[in-house]
Protein backbone atom coordinates (compact mmCIF):
# COMPACT_ATOMS: atom_id res chain seq x y z
CA UNK A 1 0.00 0.00 0.00
CA UNK A 2 1.44 3.35 -1.02
CA UNK A 3 0.53 6.62 0.61
CA UNK A 4 1.87 10.13 0.90
CA UNK A 5 2.83 11.64 4.22
CA UNK A 6 2.90 15.36 4.82
CA UNK A 7 5.08 16.87 7.53
CA UNK A 8 5.01 20.68 7.09
CA UNK A 9 4.91 23.51 9.59
CA UNK A 10 4.49 27.19 8.79
CA UNK A 11 4.79 29.70 11.63
CA UNK A 12 4.89 33.46 11.93
CA UNK A 13 5.90 34.87 15.27
CA UNK A 14 8.53 36.72 17.29
CA UNK A 15 11.84 35.49 18.65
CA UNK A 16 11.73 35.10 22.43
CA UNK A 17 15.53 35.37 22.76
CA UNK A 18 18.58 35.99 20.61
CA UNK A 19 19.41 33.01 18.36
CA UNK A 20 22.19 30.72 19.62
CA UNK A 21 24.75 29.51 17.09
CA UNK A 22 26.97 26.48 17.62
CA UNK A 23 28.88 24.03 15.46
CA UNK A 24 28.59 20.25 15.33
CA UNK A 25 31.81 18.20 15.49
CA UNK A 26 31.47 17.86 11.70
CA UNK A 27 31.71 21.65 11.40
CA UNK A 28 28.07 22.16 10.40
CA UNK A 29 26.55 25.31 11.90
CA UNK A 30 23.39 24.89 13.97
CA UNK A 31 21.23 27.80 15.07
CA UNK A 32 18.64 27.34 17.83
CA UNK A 33 15.80 29.77 18.38
CA UNK A 34 12.42 29.94 20.03
CA UNK A 35 9.38 31.56 18.43
CA UNK A 36 6.26 32.81 20.20
CA UNK A 37 2.99 32.67 18.26
CA UNK A 38 -0.24 33.86 19.85
CA UNK A 39 -3.54 32.07 19.46
CA UNK A 40 -6.93 33.50 20.38
CA UNK A 41 -9.10 31.63 22.85
CA UNK A 42 -12.74 32.46 23.55
CA UNK A 43 -13.61 33.03 27.19
CA UNK A 44 -16.92 32.05 28.80
CA UNK A 45 -18.22 35.62 28.35
CA UNK A 46 -17.52 35.52 24.62
CA UNK A 47 -14.43 37.73 24.69
CA UNK A 48 -11.20 36.53 23.13
CA UNK A 49 -7.89 36.42 24.95
CA UNK A 50 -4.53 35.74 23.38
CA UNK A 51 -2.48 32.83 24.63
CA UNK A 52 1.17 32.44 23.62
CA UNK A 53 2.54 29.22 22.14
CA UNK A 54 6.30 28.63 22.12
CA UNK A 55 8.14 26.61 19.48
CA UNK A 56 11.78 25.50 19.36
CA UNK A 57 13.29 25.83 15.88
CA UNK A 58 16.61 24.52 14.52
CA UNK A 59 18.24 26.01 11.42
CA UNK A 60 21.27 24.31 9.86
CA UNK A 61 24.18 25.58 7.76
CA UNK A 62 24.39 28.99 6.14
CA UNK A 63 20.73 29.72 6.81
CA UNK A 64 21.37 29.27 10.51
CA UNK A 65 24.41 31.56 10.36
CA UNK A 66 22.29 34.26 8.66
CA UNK A 67 19.59 33.96 11.32
CA UNK A 68 22.19 34.26 14.10
CA UNK A 69 23.85 37.26 12.45
CA UNK A 70 20.76 39.29 11.59
CA UNK A 71 17.93 38.33 13.96
CA UNK A 72 17.49 39.45 17.56
CA UNK A 73 15.00 38.92 20.37
CA UNK A 74 11.61 40.41 19.47
CA UNK A 75 12.17 40.22 15.71
CA UNK A 76 9.31 38.96 13.54
CA UNK A 77 10.08 35.84 11.55
CA UNK A 78 8.31 33.36 9.26
CA UNK A 79 9.47 29.74 9.36
CA UNK A 80 8.64 26.95 6.93
CA UNK A 81 9.88 23.54 7.99
CA UNK A 82 9.07 20.11 9.34
CA UNK A 83 8.46 18.51 12.73
CA UNK A 84 11.28 16.42 14.14
CA UNK A 85 10.63 14.01 17.02
CA UNK A 86 13.53 12.77 19.10
CA UNK A 87 14.00 10.55 22.10
CA UNK A 88 16.93 10.16 24.48
CA UNK A 89 17.86 8.85 27.89
CA UNK A 90 19.31 11.06 30.63
CA UNK A 91 22.33 10.13 32.72
CA UNK A 92 19.97 8.83 35.43
CA UNK A 93 18.13 6.60 32.89
CA UNK A 94 15.07 8.86 32.55
CA UNK A 95 13.51 8.65 29.10
CA UNK A 96 12.85 12.00 27.48
CA UNK A 97 11.29 13.07 24.21
CA UNK A 98 10.71 16.33 22.41
CA UNK A 99 9.25 17.66 19.19
CA UNK A 100 10.97 20.58 17.52
CA UNK A 101 10.87 22.26 14.13
CA UNK A 102 13.67 21.93 11.60
CA UNK A 103 13.48 24.99 9.35
CA UNK A 104 13.83 24.73 5.59
CA UNK A 105 13.31 28.46 5.06
CA UNK A 106 13.38 31.45 7.38
CA UNK A 107 12.11 34.87 6.35
CA UNK A 108 12.91 38.03 8.29
CA UNK A 109 9.70 40.08 8.48
CA UNK A 110 11.08 43.22 10.13
CA UNK A 111 13.07 45.76 8.12
CA UNK A 112 16.83 45.38 8.56
CA UNK A 113 18.45 47.41 11.32
CA UNK A 114 21.83 49.06 11.31
CA UNK A 115 24.50 46.79 12.80
CA UNK A 116 24.96 49.42 15.54
CA UNK A 117 21.34 48.90 16.62
CA UNK A 118 21.58 45.13 16.95
CA UNK A 119 22.64 43.35 20.10
CA UNK A 120 26.09 41.90 20.55
CA UNK A 121 27.43 39.33 18.09
CA UNK A 122 25.77 35.91 18.20
CA UNK A 123 26.94 33.47 20.80
CA UNK A 124 28.91 30.70 19.17
CA UNK A 125 29.88 27.56 21.03
CA UNK A 126 31.50 24.33 20.00
CA UNK A 127 29.80 21.02 20.87
The enclosing domain of 72 has a CATH number of 2.40.50.140
User: Could you list the residue range(s) of the whole structural domain that residue 71 is in?
Assistant: 20-84
- Asked if residue 33 is part of any domain, the answer here is yes
Alpha carbon distance 59, 77 (integer Å):
13
- Asked if residue 4 is part of any domain, the answer here is no
- Asked if residue 102 is part of any domain, the answer here is no
- Asked if residue 93 is part of any domain, the answer here is no
- Asked if residue 110 is part of any domain, the answer here is no
Give the range among 6-15, 27-36, 37-46, 63-72 with minimum mean pLDDT.
Answer: 37-46
- Asked if residue 71 is part of any domain, the answer here is yes
**pLDDT number for residue 114:** 59
DSSP at 24: -
Is pLDDT above 80 for 116?
no
Q: Which residues of 99-122 are buried (b: 16+ CB within 10 A; e: fewer)?
A: ebbebeebeeeeeeeeeeebeeeb
Tally of domains within the chain: 1
pTM of the model as a whole? 0.77
- Asked if residue 118 is part of any domain, the answer here is no
**pLDDT number for residue 127:** 47
Amino acid sequence: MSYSAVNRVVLIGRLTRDPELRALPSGTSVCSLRIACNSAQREAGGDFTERPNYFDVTVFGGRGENVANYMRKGGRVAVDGRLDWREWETSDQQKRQAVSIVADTVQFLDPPKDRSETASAPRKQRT
